[in-house]
Chain A
Amino acid sequence: MRKNLPLRILVLATVVVVSVVYILPVYVMVLTSLKTPLEITQRQYLVPTSSLQFGNYTTALRLVWPSLVNSSIIAVTVTAVSVFLGGLGGYFLSRFRWRISKVLFVLLAIALYLPYQALLIPLVQIVNKLHLALSHAGLILGYLILNVPLASILMATFFFSVPRELEESAEVDGASRLQIFFRIVSVVALPGYASAAILVFISVWNEFLLALTMSSPYTTTVQVKLTEIKGSYVALYNLQMAAALITVLVPLTFFLLLGKYFIRGILAGALKG
């Protein structure tokens, strides 16, 4: 194996560099969140000390709790509706290959990458006209407009891999398309639904621009709250870091437990869509 020695050294060097670059920020984040402001002022946050301030988390949690509830309501609703409607739309795209599907596909592909800015002004107008400004409905509507197209493309790529023989034999037995869709195709494509759901959930949970613009005391999401904390507790890095960790806990748990579906979702959205 002497020939491969330089290669091995290169790999190990890469491992070390990448590890430092990707672990250091999180390491510092966790340690800082457990320090007192004094320790931070004295720059003693790179190594753990005996008196870890778990109380910081109680304080941070009290600050972000209402926004955690808001974010959960919004993200769960948007995910459920997007994935359901996206399933229907995706089935159309994958099985009804007409000329109009091609037009629809192009409109979708553009919609997927549409900047939220292009919708912001009308959306605020609509939400104010409908008197939804103080409810979650405005944000939910805004997110649905971009996430139903996303979920449709994702689900279409998953439906492509469902064998058609299943549907044909059911059709011969006299089942309607809707029955076939709900009883057979959707069941076979359940992992696809999981991928789409995780992707939509994480993107809604993490979205900031829309959440900021339509923020009201009753609809502040966790991302907006985090920037408020960062703005009003400027010197309290320990609280900022604790709040940031709480914010990231939900999507990170999904990533660590259901990483396989997350990865499949990214690849489906990227390579085929």
Chain B
Amino acid sequence: MIGAVDRPPRPSLLRARAGEAAIFALPLVIFLFLLYAMLGWTFYTSVSNWQGTAANYSFGGLKWYRLMFSLDRFWVDIGNNLRWITIGVVPTVVAAVLLAYLLEIGTIKGVEPYLRTLILYPAAMSFIVTGTIWSWMYQPDRGVLNTILRGVGLGSIASGYTTDPDSATYWLILIFVWQYLGMSVLIVQASLRTAELQEMVESATLDGASRLRTLLHIIVPNIRGGLLVVVSLLLISALKVFDIVYVVTFGGPGYATDVLALHMLIATFQQHLVALGAGLAMVIFVLAFVIIIPYTIYALQRWFD
């Protein structure tokens, strides 16, 4: 690779190159600067005294964090967000790996493009649209699922879905899984299709390894990179989840399905506890930051090898 690093340039040439580089990098740097400045601003707001509609940046220390940790609603949020990032992610990844593998080994002509398009189209839709559709599916009285169940004589297992406080969050998570499965399959498929892996699978098959063994002992360990990407992507999306909850239940019944992101919006713009809202935003940010550390290290290695 011939780059700036390995060519020893004359000083004037170096200055010229720095000038050129600045033209390319400057817009990006400006936007990144804005972004991190705003992040710092949010953090500062979270340790200020700001409540009410007028901005108040006098220093308030950690009192809003103390209030946050004392709120029952905050711990409901944490519980629900944990449900989202476990139940929203693990089954999706497992299903995506199985589906991708099945499409590799057992595909009948035409099945693969059909299924891939079918499960991927929700990726182009917004959570608001999927939420609207699924609200209709879940509607307990006239909704689609219960109407079908009653129609085939299974009315006894008709459910309240998102109106039942105990299971509502799980029904919401199901929408998320439905929407993200296609994208997960797509990424797993791409990491399955490397030449090295295909060779390993071939020789394992010649050695008489069963398909399940091949999947568990050869494929899964060798698509670690792709899996890390899928898992990180899903974890972050599940952590940030807001739209689905907003449109389907708005956190209800009560605040049984509330999540950090919705609480942040309500605290900031409805209760006007802006410092508390900023604190909730910082909690979401810190959790997201922790989640993407392994991914960032991996991506960095791939880029600068």
Identify the A interface with B (CB < 8 A): 4, 7-8, 10-12, 14-15, 18-19, 21-26, 28-29, 32, 40-41, 43, 46, 85-86, 88-89, 91-92, 95-98, 102, 104-111, 113-123, 125, 144-146, 148-149, 152, 164, 168, 176-178, 181, 202, 205-209, 212-213, 223, 226-227, 230, 237, 240-241, 244, 247-248, 251-252, 254-256, 259, 262-263, 266-267, 270-273
Contacts and interface: CB of A to CB of B under 8 A. Distances in A.
List the 5 closest A-B pairs by CB distance, nearest first: A89-B28, A206-B126, A255-B124, A92-B24, A122-B41
Interface stretch (B153-161, B200-208, B264-272): B264-272
Interface string B290-304: 011001100110111
B299 A109 contact: yes
Interface of B: 1-5, 17, 20-21, 23-25, 27-29, 31-32, 34-39, 41-42, 45, 55, 99, 102, 105-108, 111, 114-115, 117-130, 132-137, 139, 142, 144, 147-148, 151, 178, 183, 186-187, 190-191, 225-226, 229-230, 232-233, 236, 239-240, 242-243, 246-247, 261, 264-265, 268-269, 274, 277-278, 280-282, 284-285, 288-289, 291-292, 295-296, 299-300, 302-304
B281 A118 contact: yes
A149 B32 contact: yes
A249 to B, nearest CB: 10
A18 B229 contact: no
A151 B215 CA distance: 35
Contacts of B120: 255, 259, 263
B183 A89 contact: no
A90 B23 CA distance: 12
A171 B124 CA distance: 41
Query: Is chain B's binding surface mostly helix, strand, loop or mixed?
Result: helix
Nearest to B211: A7
Contact of A43 (B147, B191, B232): B147
B118 A18 contact: yes
Given A206-B127, A271-B225, 9 more contacts: A22-B119, A40-B142, A85-B28, A96-B4, A111-B32, A111-B35, A115-B239, A125-B55, A149-B32
9 contacts: A19-B118, A22-B118, A24-B144, A86-B28, A106-B296, A110-B292, A116-B240, A117-B284, A251-B126
Contact of B126 (A89, A205, A241, A259): A205
A21 B118 CA distance: 10
A128 B100 CA distance: 48
